[in-house]
Structure 1
Amino acid sequence: MFEAPPLSSHEWPGERARTPTADQKDTQFDMANIKSQIKRNKQNEKAHERNKAVKTALKSAVRKFREAAETGDKETALEAGRLAAKKLDKAVSKGVIHKNQAANRKSAIAKKAASL
């Protein structure tokens, strides 16, 4: 007599296909059929790359300030703080981060710089 192999928890008969996880969503791209949506997808991809570059530069500037402040080098820390504040303002003007987030970060940088 034929005996079927046991089913694992995700292979029940009649079970609907599961939606992909966040990791899988990044690798799967469905091509849109509508011309305006194809254009929108291209625009979103370009904006994503631009925003990523701005955020990376911003994080680097803030990290350099933090490292200079930890070493106790006041001159370098103040210069790095000015550069970080400039990058924060630039990110706000490009719409990458919210103005209040930039204000909070600049305030924290100024507070740390004043304590040196």
Structure 2
Amino acid sequence: MANTAQAKKRARQTVVRREENFSLRSRMRTAIKSIRKAIESGDKELAETVFKKSTSVLDSIANKGIIHKNKAARHKSRLASSIKAMV
């Protein structure tokens, strides 16, 4: 357990940051799942609109440092290519 006032404050801040990061990461996963679900449904227009909305979620999470920018780019690239491959 933290002994100093500084250590106690850092412990409190860590809890708050962890909860915020957890919710943001969950939002990212939900956005990716919604794109994949739209792709599986076979509706290309729906997939493209969901993709456009979800890319901003991925970018904002990458800008906050929750995930690396290359990881966000990798997700966007793979999802975009799978949308492009739809018939």
TM-score normalized by the length of structure 1: 0.71
Q: Distance in 2 between matches of 1:55 and 1:83?
A: 16
1:78 corresponds, among 48, 51, 71, to 48
Q: Distance in 2 between matches of 1:83 and 1:55?
A: 16
Structure with the higher helix share, 1 or 2: 2
Which structure has the higher relative contact order (CA within 8 Å, separation 6+)?
Answer: 2
Q: Distance in 2 between matches of 1:47 and 1:69?
A: 33
Amino acid at match of 1:97: I
Aligned length: 86
Unaligned runs of 5+ in 2: none
Query: Which residue of the partner structure matches residue 23 of structure 1?
Result: none
What's the offset of the Cα at 1:66? 0.1
Unaligned runs of 5+ in 1: 1-30
Whether 2:27 is the aligned partner of 1:57: answer: yes
Identity of aligned residues (%): 35
What's the offset of the Cα at 1:94? 1.3
Alignment root-mean-square deviation, CA: 0.9
TM-score normalized by the length of structure 2: 0.93
Amino acid at match of 2:75: R
Q: Distance in 1 between matches of 2:31 and 2:49?
A: 10
What's the offset of the Cα at 1:71? 0.9
Amino acid at match of 1:99: K
Give 1:19-34 correspondences, 5 Å limit: 31-34=1-4
Q: Secondary structure at the match of 1:45?
A: helix
1:16-42 Cα shifts (integer Å, max 9, x gaps): xxxxxxxxxxxxxxx311111111111
Query: Which residue of the partner structure matches residue 59 of structure 2?
Result: 89
Query: Which residue of the partner structure matches residue 114 of structure 1?
Result: 84
